[in-house]
A = this chain, B = another copy of it.
């Protein structure tokens, strides 16, 4: 029997409030250089410690052993969607990250300006790393000149440095396509081809990309070093089962960064905009407490400082988070989870595969009798090591949202 169907069958109505608080890239590793302490272990976290008293801990494998996820699969798993089954293309993630609201069927691509010689050979894949202002100006020109191809709208938005995204919004489109990028200098830009050659929709999308090149390249032809562009990760927004229908939970997202709002929106959560600090995010949670059943609250800075390898800054980010926690606890949800979407160890300066620590507090969680919430403590917890995609099922169980299975 399909497990998702079983969960659906067993789902009961509930008045419980559930909150998932994600400290992005929270997990870390203990190394000699840092006195065998992780940032979480080195932090002063009196509020987390107090919560831990009545909570259960464990560690979550974000996708599968050894796999370091991007933000897309990391969050989809936390939302209960198998990240191997529901794959979101890089173009879609990039578009979400720039705050574009995608619709089902949109095809999105990551793009960046590059330098071409007279024969169309790529001489610099990053166009000499042009400034963001130049990128914005060039994108502005493209927006004016290439609004529509056939029956399809073309949406272009500048990113940082030489990067931008292109979204095709029309009928009967589908990805993924191969990259219009030789992935090295000294070669021409290859044509984007459908990966499934038999898909009429993907063939239409490939044709669109070719026509987009034909229309767009002349617009920037004189703008060396940015006289060309590459497109990668060309994919459509996948159909993802709606969060509320799947779990019976009306969900809200309180995030600062566009990508996380976008990922939440992908599964049908309501975006609550405007909060710029964790304090403001928690205040917003209090204000919206009655309107939703499930809150996804995203905190970015743990990941950001992990990526920089900045141990002290990651520790500070955790302490700032901890200091804000009492705001959230003014209206304590029945089920509160504090975790990361993956680990971002300072020693690695990037996302990693190390299972992230998770703290789950509810009247049914039981206490693991641990003094603190840390990676080392989480190793001892009653939740064990489990796949992140089951987190929401544990949250639902703790909210008493599941009927007994069998007699």
**A residues apposed to B, CB below 8 Å:** 1, 3, 6-7, 10, 28-32, 36, 38, 53-54, 59, 63-73, 83-85, 87-88, 90, 93-94, 233, 345, 347-348, 350-355, 363-369, 375-376, 379-386, 390, 393-394, 396-397, 402, 404-407
Hey, which chain B residues are within 8 Å of A85, CB to CB? 1
CB distance from A116 to the nearest CB of B (A): 26
Q: List 13 A-B contacts (CB under 8 A).
A: A3-B64, A28-B366, A29-B365, A36-B369, A68-B402, A70-B405, A70-B406, A70-B407, A71-B406, A90-B407, A347-B366, A348-B364, A385-B385
Q: Residue of B at shortest CB range from A348?
A: B364
Known: A29-B367, A368-B376. 15 other contacts (CB 8 A): A10-B67, A32-B54, A65-B393, A66-B393, A66-B396, A67-B393, A67-B402, A71-B407, A90-B406, A348-B364, A351-B404, A354-B382, A355-B382, A368-B379, A379-B384
Establish whether residues A407 and B66, one from each chain, have CB atoms under 8 Å apart when the complex forms: no
Establish whether residues B59 and A382, one from each chain, have CB atoms under 8 Å apart when the complex forms: yes
CB distance from A58 to the nearest CB of B (A): 8
The 3 closest A-B pairs by CB, nearest first: A29-B366, A384-B385, A66-B397
Establish whether residues A66 and B402, one from each chain, have CB atoms under 8 Å apart when the complex forms: yes
Establish whether residues B63 and A405, one from each chain, have CB atoms under 8 Å apart when the complex forms: yes
Copies in the complex: 2
Hey, which chain B residues are within 8 Å of A54, CB to CB? 31-32
Establish whether residues B93 and A367, one from each chain, have CB atoms under 8 Å apart when the complex forms: no
Hey, which chain B residues are within 8 Å of A367, CB to CB? 29-32, 36
CB distance from A258 to the nearest CB of B (A): 13
Establish whether residues B382 and A381, one from each chain, have CB atoms under 8 Å apart when the complex forms: no
Establish whether residues A350 and B404, one from each chain, have CB atoms under 8 Å apart when the complex forms: yes
CB distance from A49 to the nearest CB of B (A): 15
CB distance from A123 to the nearest CB of B (A): 26
Q: Residue of B at shortest CB range from A69?
A: B405
Hey, which chain B residues are within 8 Å of A31, CB to CB? 54, 366-367
- A90 CA to B68 CA, complexed, in Å: 38
Hey, which chain B residues are within 8 Å of A32, CB to CB? 53-54, 367
Establish whether residues B405 and A67, one from each chain, have CB atoms under 8 Å apart when the complex forms: yes
Hey, which chain B residues are within 8 Å of A68, CB to CB? 397, 402, 404-405
Establish whether residues B84 and A3, one from each chain, have CB atoms under 8 Å apart when the complex forms: yes
- A367 CA to B31 CA, complexed, in Å: 6
Establish whether residues B405 and A59, one from each chain, have CB atoms under 8 Å apart when the complex forms: no
Q: Residue of B at shortest CB range from A403?
A: B68
- A63 CA to B405 CA, complexed, in Å: 9
Establish whether residues B406 and A384, one from each chain, have CB atoms under 8 Å apart when the complex forms: no
- A59 CA to B352 CA, complexed, in Å: 21
Establish whether residues B345 and A364, one from each chain, have CB atoms under 8 Å apart when the complex forms: yes
Q: Residue of B at shortest CB range from A88?
A: B406
Establish whether residues B406 and A364, one from each chain, have CB atoms under 8 Å apart when the complex forms: no
Hey, which chain B residues are within 8 Å of A38, CB to CB? 366
Establish whether residues B384 and A366, one from each chain, have CB atoms under 8 Å apart when the complex forms: no
Q: Residue of B at shortest CB range from A395?
A: B66
CB distance from A332 to the nearest CB of B (A): 14
Q: Residue of B at shortest CB range from A364?
A: B348
Hey, which chain B residues are within 8 Å of A379, CB to CB? 368, 380-382, 384
CB distance from A388 to the nearest CB of B (A): 11
Establish whether residues A394 and B65, one from each chain, have CB atoms under 8 Å apart when the complex forms: yes
Hey, which chain B residues are within 8 Å of A397, CB to CB? 65-68, 352-353
